[in-house]
Structure 1
């Protein structure tokens, strides 16, 4: 595959940005925050309709300020089989009142108590290249919600997400096993496959 430029991440969420950088690095690619180029900006309000609309909006917004860069944005969410009308595109907004990661996970554990624990994590990526070509990619993690937080290799949902067919949470797996399973890694791989040789 040809050498690709740096992917500039359009997000003010440091946890998301750091995970995307880690996923890109795992695949031998380089990414960094848009804030390494310009001062932090306030993004327009997100919609509540689709991951794609939100990701495209963020990518186009930063691309206006960094027209020479390859700007990429992620919109992601958790989809619970037990609560099909909750979370999803509005996951971050619904969980925003949680004060910390442990409280966030406690809320998820409570939501699925005595219900189906099947979960899907979705990552929708939109890339705007320097010549204004748009690429769209998607990745999914499928698994279950654990009964309690487990593991030390990760934070937030990594502590409660159990990959399909496995018994351990993502946070109990070493990076070489964990990172390929992440919805964001899968979305990046899908994107790279579209960029061609």
Structure 2
């Protein structure tokens, strides 16, 4: 079955491809000829993932799914949340975002945080939503060279290394996107 992941983020495509295996032919936005910046005008992760998936379905008529992920830091009342990708500005620069986050958490003892992913799947014009959450904390400094986004400063609960210090396989077993994708894959296996 062909399934479009409404992203051109190669890191996300790589992570999800590994999880889906050979069951699905995973297509990116580029693969279907979509070169627009998908809309993200909602104030919730669920709203943004739905908006992106609906855009792809309405314009390309292909089964698809879209995700939106937010890092929610307890001491910052859930910031950056839905604005995680553009926390430090519209340039969507991960280094700038991490710098701002670490600056705001200087001298803050409570470093509890969680990553939350919302996925919206549109399958034959039916909408289904899935969620994945991983609890953890923000480190004092960057650690590791893998991953993307906030991975170098997020240490999941029960581990002594950040996402950026883990292999893709190791991270996929415990991370927020992995949990949401696993829920979606389990659903797809029951309907296909």
Could you state the TM-score of these two structures normalised by the residue count of structure 2?
Answer: 0.86
Indicate whether 1:26 and 2:18 are aligned. Answer: yes
2:172 aligned residue (161, 166, 179): 179
RMSD: 2.0
Match of 1:194 in 2: 187
Structure 1 residue 46 displacement after superposition: 0.9
CA distance in 1, matches of 2:173, 2:182: 9
- CA 1:110–1:44: 2 relative to 1, 3 Å: same
Any gaps of 5 or more consecutive residues in structure 1?
none
1:111 aligned residue (104, 119, 133): 104
SS class of match (2:76): coil
Could you state the TM-score of these two structures normalised by the residue count of structure 1?
Answer: 0.84
The 5 A counterparts of 1:17-56 are 17-27=9-19, 28=21, 29-48=24-43, 50-56=44-50
Structure 1 residue 72 displacement after superposition: 0.8
- CA 1:53–1:143: 2 relative to 1, 3 Å: same
SS class of match (1:53): helix
Structure 1 residue 57 displacement after superposition: 1.0
The 5 A counterparts of 1:62-141 are 62-67=56-61, 69-84=62-77, 86-97=79-90, 100-115=93-108, 116-129=110-123, 131-141=124-134
Any gaps of 5 or more consecutive residues in structure 2?
none
CA distance in 2, matches of 1:73, 1:179: 17
CA distance in 2, matches of 1:147, 1:23: 26
- How many residues are aligned here? 186
Q: Which moved more, 1:115-124 or 1:24-33?
A: 24-33
